[in-house]
Amino acid sequence: MNKIPVETFDTPELAVAKLAAETAELIRSNDAAGKPTVLGLATGATPIRYYQELIRLHKEEGLSFQNVITFNLDEYAGLPREHKESYWFFMHHNLFDHIDIKPENINLPSGTVSDAEIPAHCEEYEQAIIDAGGIDQQILGIGRTGHIGFNEPGSPKDSLTRAITLDEITREDAAPAFDGIDNVPTAAITMGCGTILAAKRIVLMAWGEGKASIVQKAVQGPVNDIVSASYLQEHDNAVFYIDQPASTEL
């Protein structure tokens, strides 16, 4: 039995069309009420189609991001913004450069703060989310370790934004993009599980048979710190949007 709502779609395209429409409705509703919309955003292959659909809604249907504030989940430690594998670069290449969002409304953890500066940087990130009014809609993918953000196995449910050591499985998955595992950073700064769970609405996307096993653990398994996505079972407004192959073990 599923312990969290799951919507299964024939294709990822159908899933992202529904999700992007939900995001657009949220933005337009808040615009009409004179309120900003605060989005929590993810990186990786999973959300790219979603970002493409948001860009289409902006260019073809006039969806404006002028009053949208974004907070990204994470960033690799040691990567400057211009590095092609930095999440700053990823987000601008795949979304921000193609919509009318204000640069000052874009928030990502920094990959280049010194070790001594990390605690203060993480506290400032948490405070910026609070000052923005909290996250209205948080978008997630899921890693093979079950991580949301970079909350690797052992991450407490109430954890906040912090530095984290990356699991070897996570680094192996990133190795092709970095031309080998030796080039993959060993650490990152990530929103904590508690930070993510504070969002008003959470949508986790997963595509393909390779995600079927970890989706099953997150949705139907025990809630524990081994699979941080399992914490979503205890959120009152979270849902999984998955394609048919990702649903095969449910």
* All structural domains of the chain: 6-247 (3.40.50.1360)
| Confidence at residue 1, expressed as pLDDT on a 0 to 100 scale | 80
pTM of the model: 0.97
246, pLDDT greater than 90: yes
Residue 2 in this model has a pLDDT that exceeds 90: no
Q: What letter represents residue 101's amino acid?
A: I
Is the per-residue pLDDT at 213 higher than 90? yes
> What does the DSSP assignment read for 220-237?
HS--BTTBGGGGGGG-TT
Question: Distances in Å between the alpha carbon of 10 and those of 7, 14, 144, 171, 221?
Answer: 10, 7, 22, 30, 24
Chain segment 148-201, per-residue pLDDT in tens: 999 999 999 999 999 999 999 999 999 999 999 999 999 999 999 999 999 999
**Active-site amino acid positions:** 152
